[in-house]
Chain A
Amino acid sequence: MTTSQIEQVGGKGYKWVDDRVPASTFLKRNLGKVFPDHWSFMLGEIALYSFIILLLSGTFLSLWFKPSMIEVVYDGSYIPLNGVKMSEAYASTLDISFDIRGGLLMRQIHHWGALFFVAAISVHLLRVFFTGAFRKPREINWVIGVGLLTLALLEGFAGYSLPDDLLSGTGLRIAEGITLAIPLVGTYLSFFIFGGQFPGSDFIPRLYTVHVLLVPGVILALITVHLMLVWYQKHTQFPGPGRTEKNVVGYPLFPVYTAKAGGFFFVVFGLTAAISAVFQINPIWVYGPYVPDQLTAGSQPDWYIGWLEGALRMMPNIEINFFSSYTLSVNVLVPAAILPGLIFTVMALYPWIEQWATGDKKVHHLLDRPRNAPTRTALGAMALSFYVMLWIEGGNDLIASTFSMNVYTITWFFRIAIFVVPPLVFVATRRICLALQRRDRDKLLHGYETGIVKRLPSGEYYEQHAPISDSERAVILDRNRMPEALPMPEKTDANGVKQPGYWHKSLQARLSRFFYGEQLPRPTPEEIEAAGHHETELTDERDHEISDSRAEALAPRE
């Protein structure tokens, strides 16, 4: 390609840029970059696009929102609140909702977008976990992802708190109560955060800076690194014919993914706008301005805070007094600080935990089907059920009033269920995974059920099986990649001398057996080879039988 051709296609502007930075070198390498196709790879995209939607709608809102706790008397279009004293933050939120054209829509888009943002991150994280996409070399991106989830929760809660309505103020009051429960420094921390006692008059402006500058800035930086790593390390792919650890199979960035991913941004934005047109979210005018001595029953946080709310509700009331001069609020500290801290730490460290337990230090670009990693899948399902228990308990009052049940009974149920259900889920999930493996093996060795039932002259019925397709075979055979459990080390060597590091090794072997031990035996190459012909032969045989017997039956009698 000559310079003039480039100028013809790209115009003078492109040429100008290309003379100064190597744009063509970049495009040369990346326009044809291949991305694999799978519906579950869109989940992270939804999160990314939701974030862009949040930036756009948030910028609009910031043009009118007044982050101030100065008391004003409302005088605006919403008649029921006329003459009511409220903060400027709340009053300006009312103005955005009732007096600025498109203001309500942008508020709704911003709120729905936030709900989708956290939801998309959460489901994306589950996809990455259950398919083993966090394994080497993608551990860094997993940790960044956990960081993004944490920040998204924080950012969402901050935004929920800004309008200074009754619900958001109550949420902040709870946050203050949690801060006070931190030993040694909690009281000081709370006074520094709120500029004195709760609620004070400094907090909303401070929170505003955190919400519109600090946290989004960090989120943006982390997303950038996250995407650069995806770009550089190339996307993982599901097993299938022609897909190996050394390649990526899919469609090129230009034009297919430019159209698909670019188009998907507009789909997400369009759907968010349409939902915001029809479904009301966070009607702060119904709640009224924040007054510390008022609250209505059935107050609920946004969905993603529900699990923390549930943990607070579930916790028994333990409080410890030291030397009658210090108080340790175990009842608040455990559910609101220790539990989330533990959950996020274990989550962030999981890639290393699994690596250590299995001894698997290999690079993985092919994803696991969840059934082929039964223990990981079961651990994930167990963790998920733990989360769901907390989440449902967070709405125990709504369940109680909707189904006319006793709220104490519900709480007691979950206090017990939180310990009983997750292990059961673990066992059940592992069983289901192994059953699915068994089914795969059956399909591989005996073909799939065609639904064609035949009857032999002898009266015997049988269902015809047919060999599965090559793609399906490739997917099922992929299980042969899964590592084996590590062998148990010998306690002593040949000379009867104790092995160094025996305990460490045997613990690792035990964990590895826990992870990989209980698996269906893999089909041997001979079995697979045999299965290829077996199926057609079997069917042919039976068909012969049928035609033979039919011929027999039709044969003229002697």
Chain B
Amino acid sequence: MSIEHSSHSEDLPPHVPRRADTDPRAAKRAERQVGLLFIASSLATVGFIVAFVFISTEDLLDLPFFGNVSASNFALGLFMGVALFAIGAGAIHWAKKLMSDVEVINERHPEGSDDESRAAALAEYERGRDESGFTRRPFIRNSLLLSLALAGIPAVVLLRDLGPLPGTVLRHTMWTEDMRILTAETLQPIRPGDLEIGTLVSGVPEGIDLVLEEEGNLNELAKSPVILVRMDPTDIKAEQGPADDPWGYQGILCFSKICTHVGCPISLYEQQTHHLLCPCHQSTFDLTDAANVIFGPAARALPQLAISVDTDGYLVARGDFTQPVGPSFWERG
């Protein structure tokens, strides 16, 4: 035999024969078990095909604990599971009961090269080095290295058109002066009277649906959404605008809905305290105090949008946000 079986097998603990090694009936029984597992697998494969043909994807199955599940998924998965598992179980059972369990020893060989090979490799290298002369002719070598290094640059340059440069787009949203605030749910304009004290409504700029349609993406919806909250004016400790011209309107305050941490839409409002909590990382903003951060990883207050009412009595923005909304970025300042 060419396998390097070692001569030290007497060091191993003596082999303890299994029942199947000594009792032919036990061996026969194991043989039957293995064969039956393979047959079970075959039957399950047939079951899989039957289930595939006859069970509709719309059929539901009411299982205890699991409730209504897709009958097709349940049957296909179980048949497939049994078909595969039984092959594996049979093979492993076969190996454990019937194949030899006498431990065998292989010798290890050293991982590295021996000195003879090292010397030979070195000689080969030196021959090639001297023939090409790349150490003797540094001009060739260095100019080649230069050209190879430069040849990689186009791969980077080619990626330039992956996207436009940021410019100032992160600093602006579509909000402009006198743009109505619509409810995010129904896209209806809002009158101050629609908002009771202690209510919070999600809002979007009027015409956002057209902008989204036109741009063919959801970018504006990732920037301009706001929340409107109405509170008792005496509860308001501070606002972000100038003290003589507050940005709120009769106790109605409007903030960006996009978290200043990493940009999740903030949605959890606590009515009693007017705290707003981000469901992603629990940054908490105190809306009574200029939406300052009172807990969590966000570092900046939610930008406030200055609002007023138009001639028809609907809530409108007085202009765009005065600072970028959403997560910080290097050039933000």
Contacts and interface: CB of A to CB of B under 8 A. Distances in A.
Interface in B67-92: 69-70, 72-78, 80-92
A100 B57 contact: yes
Nearest to B75: A277
Contacts of A232: 111
Highest count of chain A CB atoms <10 Å: which of B94, B218, B333: B218
A170 interface: yes
A256 interface: yes
Contacts of B82: 270, 274
A176 B263 contact: yes
B282 A319 contact: no
A242 B12 contact: yes
Interface residues of A, number: 121
B103 A250 contact: yes
Contacts of A260: 91-92, 95-96
A558 interface: no
Interface in B190-218: 202, 204, 216-218
A287 interface: no
B240 to A, nearest CB: 17
Contacts of A193: 162-163
A249 B94 contact: no
A277 B164 contact: no
Given A28-B2, A256-B100, A264-B92, A332 B221 contact: no
Contacts, number: 339
B12 A249 contact: yes
Contact of B92 (A183, A267, A294, A324): A267
A71 B218 CA distance: 10
B261 to A, nearest CB: 7
A263 to B, nearest CB: 3
A312 interface: yes
Contacts of A170: 264, 280
Contact of A249 (B81, B105, B295): B105
A326 B329 CA distance: 8
B120 interface: no
Interface string A159-175: 00000000000100110
B104 interface: yes
Nearest to A363: B111
A255 B163 contact: no
Size category of the binding interface on chain B: 35 or more
A315 B297 contact: yes
A246 B108 contact: yes
Given A173-B263, A274-B78, A184 B95 contact: no
Interface stretch (A29-37, A376-384, A486-494): A29-37
Interface string B236-269: 0000000000000000000001000111110110
A267 B88 contact: yes
A267 B159 contact: no
B293 interface: yes
A274 B84 CA distance: 10
Given A71-B216, A270-B84, A471-B13, A396 B330 contact: no
Contact of A270 (B86, B257, B263, B284): B86
A531 to B, nearest CB: 19
B104 A173 contact: no
B324 to A, nearest CB: 10
Among A100, A265, A267, A396, find the residue whose CB has the most chain B CB atoms closer than 10 A: A267
B101 interface: yes
Contact of A319 (B95, B106, B299): B299
Interface in B87-129: 87-92, 94-96, 99-101, 103-108, 111-112
Interface string A180-191: 111111111011
B22 interface: no
A396 B284 CA distance: 14
Contacts of B221: 291-293
B77 A278 contact: yes
Interface stretch (A195-203, A454-462, A545-553): A195-203
A173 B221 CA distance: 12
A526 interface: no
A186 B299 contact: no
Contacts of B72: 101-102, 104-105
A188 B166 contact: yes
A99 interface: yes
Interface of B: 1-3, 5-6, 8-9, 11-13, 52, 57-58, 66, 69-70, 72-78, 80-92, 94-96, 99-101, 103-108, 111-112, 159, 162-166, 169-170, 184, 202, 204, 216-219, 221-223, 225, 257, 261-265, 267-268, 279-284, 293, 295-300, 326-333
4 tightest Cβ-Cβ pairs between the two chains A and B: A277-B77, A177-B262, A270-B85, A263-B91
Given A251-B101, A260-B91, A396-B282, 19 more contacts: A32-B3, A102-B72, A174-B263, A181-B328, A186-B329, A187-B330, A187-B331, A200-B219, A233-B111, A241-B13, A247-B107, A264-B88, A265-B88, A266-B88, A270-B85, A270-B87, A277-B73, A325-B333, A397-B282
